[in-house]
Amino acid sequence: MIATSVQNQIKQQVSQDATFARLYKYRQNQFFQRLEVYWDDVIRPLHHLYGHLDNFELWLADTITRIGRAYAERPADLHQLDEKRLLQPDWFQKSTMLGYVAYTERFAGSLSGVADKIAYLNELGVTYLHLMPLLQPRHGANDGGYAVMDYRQVNSRLGSMADLAHLATELRHNNISLCIDLVCNHTAKEHEWANKARAGDTTYQDYYLMFPDRTLPDAYEENLREIFPDFKPGNFTYYDDLQKWVWTTFNEYQWDLNYHNPAVFTEMVEIMLYLANQGVEILRLDAVAFMWKRLGTNCENQPEAHLILQAFRALCRLAAPGLLLKAEAIVSPPDLVPYLGRGVAANKECHIAYHNVLMVMLWSCLAERKAVLATKALQNMPPIPGGTSWVTYARCHDDIGWAITEEDAAQVGLDGYAHRAFLSDFYTGRFEGTFAAGTTFQFNPKNNDRRVNGSLASLAGLETAVANANWSEVELAIRRILLLHNLIFAYGGIPLIYMGDEIGLLNDHSYLDDPDLAEDSRWIHRPFMDWDKAAERHDTQTITGRIYTNLCQLVAARQRTKVLHAETAVYPIWANNDHVFALLRDNPRGRLLILANVTENHQTVSRHRLHELGFTGLLINRLTEQPINMWQDLTLEPYQVIWLQQAP
């Protein structure tokens, strides 16, 4: 391990940095105090990753000096924000948190347009706004902005970096934290580093993973998945000018970065702090599962990918302790929780992570009209570390991949393969009698994997019901939409409303007219905001109004139900009715029983079961604040959800 004398040398080097040296002494001391407190968290992952390199200590000192500079450059109001966050570390775990996710252009035209929509967001109760990739992407096709050419520029179609900083401040004054994407696994092949690599600069060739022939790519391929088999077969692309194969997990124009090279790590952490210094409060770290490659493995979820995230966290903490890191790791259930840290790294990795398993299970419940698999699979997941939180969602901008393990399925008597195939068929309209109107994404004939696209409302049945003018089906679809939102609100974590879902927007086929988008059917559920429809949102005679006003009531119920704080453990439990999904939220804040009927029929939960779970005496449904009669069995209407709590 690294001696304390090294720590002292590093402090010296930091103090000599011209920018840092200009700080008041007390500010300098604050940085050094953090360095002391977080020293072990900084050194442990970095030593594992790069400690074997000859120049490790030099590199470490240089990297920490750069962090010191970013600290020195952090604007005063953001230092103040850091203080506030340190005083209230559970700020993002509170039941008042509500996320909203939107494409800047499709929601409001530009960054300044977003500022004009703050009133709309406030009305909904939003406290966290994720604006989809907005850093300068390559021109032409760019995977929805996930092929970044310049991390220090905003997409010129949306505004400038100054506009972003201005928007972040304005949002913060309205109690909304800004989240943006940081695509840290790959760059566009037009990024400056890639250009230099192509021009023959070996320093920059080492920023990527390049191979002179097929020997290693073939060896790696034996265990790799294909992420976008329709767009591009395999994980490597050959470039004639380079005469090399380049690692390209996603599209051909997205080059994977080489984190075996510590220079890449340092560049990325500097970019993170640069963005944090613009006022970004949450960084969504894209595709983190792929950040480390190891021959003989599928190169996903490698221990080193976790160490990189832990090192990001520790270093960001030195300069911008208020910054939150969010893991975008859409992986199978056993691989997910570790992104929030485990063992010595518990709550020392990402603060928040997408709960893709919950998302999948909710759709599975609705298709099957049964909650058995969801209950078991979620029970099988370990608890998350204290101080961290899920990000819960029912739909996002990506396709749905059925993250269901063979083991979980087998435990409830299902065949994993067959169940995944059933869900794909159900949600792409291939299953007789389905309510869903989704489409297939990236069908892979090699393993029969069929992922699903479609807007939340269309997948929940609204599109088909409206097309058939079948009003009882419309009613059921609205209830499904509300049930999905209800459960992401109640499960624990920051729930995300995906733009347009609050007003039930359907599939949008207009992407087919844009040659840069037409190939990628995920655009079917990335619509333009329909502000005319939104104008109907208060009219409960309309479908829009039914969805929106009920959603607002849900938001209000969540805000006042403090036991929904993310620190309150969640236990999926058996309601003794396969068609009812039951969650127990339990900690000293209180106990809440969430019961969700996942079918279009009435369902009953026996009062004995409720008594067994400790729910006796006077009970209240927190959603309506109405008392519940406990002397009879509890009947749930089609798709009804109840939040049961004992009256104080």
Q: Which residues are designated catalytic?
A: 286, 328
User: Considering the rule CB under 6 A, would residue 144 count as an interface residue with ligand GLC?
Assistant: yes
Extended beta strands in 460-616, E state: 494-498, 569-574, 580-587, 590-597, 603-605
The rounded distance, in Å, linking the Cα atoms of 172 and 317 is 20
Nearer to ligand GLC, 57 or 519 (CB): 519
User: Considering the rule CB under 6 A, would residue 143 count as an interface residue with ligand GLC?
Assistant: yes
The rounded distance, in Å, linking the Cα atoms of 250 and 248 is 6
Nearer to ligand GLC, 286 or 349 (CB): 286
User: Considering the rule CB under 6 A, would residue 150 count as an interface residue with ligand GLC?
Assistant: no
Q: Enumerate the H helices of 527-590 as residue ranges.
A: 531-534, 543-560
Q: Near ligand GLC by CB under 6 A, which window of 141-149, 273-281, 475-483, 538-546?
A: 141-149
Q: Tokens 């340190």 sit at which residue?
A: 86
User: Considering the rule CB under 6 A, would residue 230 count as an interface residue with ligand GLC?
Assistant: no
CB of 143 to ligand GLC, least distance (A): 5
CB of 330 to ligand GLC, least distance (A): 6
Residue 123 CA to its chain's centroid (Å): 23
**Closest CB to ligand GLC: residue number:** 146
User: Considering the rule CB under 6 A, would residue 137 count as an interface residue with ligand GLC?
Assistant: no
CB of 146 to ligand GLC, least distance (A): 3
Q: Near ligand GLC by CB under 6 A, which window of 118-126, 139-147, 258-266, 583-591?
A: 139-147
Residue 479 CA to its chain's centroid (Å): 25
The rounded distance, in Å, linking the Cα atoms of 288 and 272 is 14
Query: Scanning residues 388 to 417, which ones bind ligand GLC (CB under 6 A)?
Result: 397-398
| Sequence-ordered list of residues with C-beta below 8 angstroms from that of 373, at least 6 positions apart, any chain | 361, 364, 365, 404, 408, 409, 412, 414, 419
CB of 328 to ligand GLC, least distance (A): 6
CB of 404 to ligand GLC, least distance (A): 19
Query: Scanning residues 176 to 215, which ones bind ligand GLC (CB under 6 A)?
Result: 183
Crossing angle between the packed helical segments 372-379 and 356-368, to the nearest 10 degrees: 160
Nearer to ligand GLC, 358 or 623 (CB): 358
Q: Do the strands 99-102 and 494-498 form a parallel or antiparallel pair, or are they unpaired?
A: parallel
Nearer to ligand GLC, 86 or 518 (CB): 518
Nearer to ligand GLC, 327 or 488 (CB): 327
Residue count, binding to ligand GLC (CB under 6 A): 10
The amino acid occupying position 39 is W
Out of 20, 146, 193, 245, point to the residue binding ligand GLC (CB under 6 A): 146
User: Considering the rule CB under 6 A, would residue 350 count as an interface residue with ligand GLC?
Assistant: no
Binding mask 283-302 for ligand GLC (x = CB under 6 A): ---xx---------------
The rounded distance, in Å, linking the Cα atoms of 199 and 205 is 9
Query: Considering just the CA atoms, what is the radius of gyration of the chain in Å?
Result: 25
| Sequence-ordered list of residues with C-beta below 8 angstroms from that of 57, at least 6 positions apart, any chain | 2, 6
Q: Near ligand GLC by CB under 6 A, which window of 75-83, 142-150, 230-238, 545-553?
A: 142-150
Q: Which residues pair with 620 in a beta bridge?
A: 627, 645
The amino acid occupying position 578 is D
CB of 93 to ligand GLC, least distance (A): 24
The amino acid occupying position 355 is H
CB of 314 to ligand GLC, least distance (A): 24
Half-sphere exposure of 202 (CA within 13 A, CB side): 1
How is residue 280 written in tokens? 């970004």
User: Considering the rule CB under 6 A, would residue 151 count as an interface residue with ligand GLC?
Assistant: no
Among left, alpha and beta (phi > 0; psi -120 to 50; other), residue 322 is alpha
Nearer to ligand GLC, 176 or 288 (CB): 288
CB of 144 to ligand GLC, least distance (A): 6
CB of 181 to ligand GLC, least distance (A): 8
Nearer to ligand GLC, 41 or 328 (CB): 328
What is each CA distance from 363 to 203, 371, 422, in whole angstroms?
47, 10, 12
Nearer to ligand GLC, 250 or 312 (CB): 250
Nearer to ligand GLC, 278 or 356 (CB): 356
Task: With beta carbons less than 8 A apart as the criterion, state whether 251 and 231 touch.
Answer: yes
Q: Tokens 């580093």 sit at which residue?
A: 193
How is residue 124 written in tokens? 């909904």
Phi, psi of 277, rounded to the nearest 5 degrees: -75, -10
Binding mask 249-278 for ligand GLC (x = CB under 6 A): -x----------------------------
User: Considering the rule CB under 6 A, would residue 461 count as an interface residue with ligand GLC?
Assistant: no
Q: Near ligand GLC by CB under 6 A, which window of 55-63, 140-148, 503-511, 552-560?
A: 140-148
The rounded distance, in Å, linking the Cα atoms of 239 and 246 is 8
Note the residues at the interface with ligand GLC (CB under 6 A). Answer: 143-144, 146, 183, 250, 286-287, 328, 397-398
